[in-house]
Amino acid sequence: MNIPIDRQLDILTARSVDLVSRAELRRKLETAAAAKRPLRVKYGADPSAPDIHLGHVVGLNKLREFQDLGHTVVFIIGDFTGMIGDPSGRSETRKPMSREQIAANAKTYQDQVFKVLDRARTEVRFNSEWCAALAFPDVLRLTAQVTVAQMLARDDFQKRFKDNQPISVVEFLYPIIQGYDSVQVDADIEVGGTDQLFNLLVGRDLQKAFGKEQQVVLTLPLLEGLDGVRKMSKSLGNYVGIAESPREMFGKIMSIPDAMMARYFALVLGRPDDEIKALEQALASGKRHPRQVKDELAQAIVARFHSPAAALAASAEFERVFSEHKQPDEIPTIVIPMAQRKNGKLGVMALLVAAGLAESNGAARRLIQQGAVKIGEAKITDIATELAIPEGCVIQAGKRAFARIVSA
């Protein structure tokens, strides 16, 4: 590796929010280079939600940058954490997951993660490997390392405490478990979102307590989801999964607020600062149209996780369906046997429900009354309409829902 250390530092710290500390990172890079030993870069994942989305990609990109400079990623799957059930959702304690479930999720995770990471430079570990072996006295020794004041200093705990929101003791254990993972895998660096800062720092404390070299802590911005406000997460439903179909992926990206485009370019695609600045200027001056820029963004993201060809196709399809209001080229087929029809005919409401385009007759009625329903090219406005459905005709409910009806 002959890239100068300063250049490496610039690459590795780009887009970061917190860095503890630059001097330490430099020193580690230097000693690693001298000893021809890759650094161990730790990243933790919770197996409760196996689908990787663009929010995760922000961190994975950073890990990939480390790998491209020759370092090793230690990807930790928090299966131990999964087994005791994640309490971080404030209202309800999640049900602990079964072994099979965790194994299945872990597999999905790995399949997806290597769309970004370099498999050859990744070490996958499960934290049950060492956590399950801990005896209670070990746990006591660990917990003694962190004080309640330290815990309460953490942003979200403090807020919840002030608001009289419950905080379970298990939640206090989380940072400790995570920190202990760092001890076990001899992490040189740990990467996480800004919300992880506290947990990452606990890792440093515990490593010190165990007489190990402390890890460098590097945090990255949290990517906002499709609403452009709250962080992207599966539970909020504002995410784009990297395993989603090109069409879904493209459409979802097109629905982000315009103001988020630059951020997605930077965090998901890792585009350099000067390019982002130029883009923002072009947008502000009206030199480039937001619609085109967003199309480019959506295409770039689809191309990254599928292929350039798929991106092009998704873009064309989107244009056709939403700008020109034509039918998509792939429409799911629904079978409605002749037996269900009266004299070969069927009421529109029954049809909508049978085709899965409406949840109930009431919903179907509303759709029709609001002018959302089309059979072929004809808009249906009367809820009492009876139809002799021609074989293969297309029914549309709203902008996005289509179904092709056949009788057998």
Given the rule CB under 7 A, which residues bind RNA?
91, 164-168, 227, 247-248, 250-252, 254-258, 289-291, 294, 318-319, 322-323, 349, 359-363, 365-367, 370-372, 383-384, 397-401
Which residue number, 35 or 169, has a Cβ lying nearer to RNA?
169
The amino acid that residue 332 corresponds to is P
CA distances (Å), origin 242, targets 54, 106, 114, 230, 299: 7, 16, 11, 19, 13
Q: CB of residue 230 vs RNA: minimum separation in angstroms?
A: 9
For 360, other C-beta atoms within 10 Å of its C-beta total: 11
Which residue number, 113 or 223, has a Cβ lying nearer to RNA?
223
Which residue number, 10 or 329, has a Cβ lying nearer to RNA?
329
Which residue number, 51 or 227, has a Cβ lying nearer to RNA?
227
Which residue number, 26 or 404, has a Cβ lying nearer to RNA?
404
Distance (Å, whole) CA 330 – CA 402? 9
Report whether 387 contacts 345 (CB < 8 A). yes
Q: CB of residue 89 vs RNA: minimum separation in angstroms?
A: 11
Helix (H) or strand (E) holding 171: helix 169-185
Q: CB of residue 330 vs RNA: minimum separation in angstroms?
A: 13
Distance (Å, whole) CA 24 – CA 47? 31
Q: Which residues pair with 224 in a beta bridge?
A: 231
**Long-range contacts of range 234-237, CB-CB < 8 Å, 24 or more positions apart?**
234/49, 234/51, 234/53, 235/49, 235/89
Which residue number, 37 or 399, has a Cβ lying nearer to RNA?
399
Which residue number, 351 or 372, has a Cβ lying nearer to RNA?
372
Q: CB of residue 239 vs RNA: minimum separation in angstroms?
A: 12
Torsion of CA 270, 275, 280, 286, to 10 degrees: -130
Tally the C-alpha atoms within 13 A of residue 216's C-alpha that lie toward its C-beta: 21
Q: CB of residue 150 vs RNA: minimum separation in angstroms?
A: 18
**Long-range contacts of range 109-113, CB-CB < 8 Å, 24 or more positions apart?**
109/45, 109/47, 109/50, 109/52, 109/77, 111/243, 112/50, 112/51, 112/52, 112/242, 112/243, 113/45, 113/52, 113/60, 113/75
Which residue number, 124 or 269, has a Cβ lying nearer to RNA?
269
Q: CB of residue 401 vs RNA: minimum separation in angstroms?
A: 6
Q: CB of residue 291 vs RNA: minimum separation in angstroms?
A: 4
Which residue number, 93 or 101, has a Cβ lying nearer to RNA?
93
**Token reading at 307:** 């292929």
Q: CB of residue 275 vs RNA: minimum separation in angstroms?
A: 20
**Residues in CB range of 369: below 8 A, 6 or more apart:** 381, 383
Tally the C-alpha atoms within 13 A of residue 353's C-alpha that lie toward its C-beta: 15
Distance (Å, whole) CA 157 – CA 154? 6
Q: CB of residue 167 vs RNA: minimum separation in angstroms?
A: 6
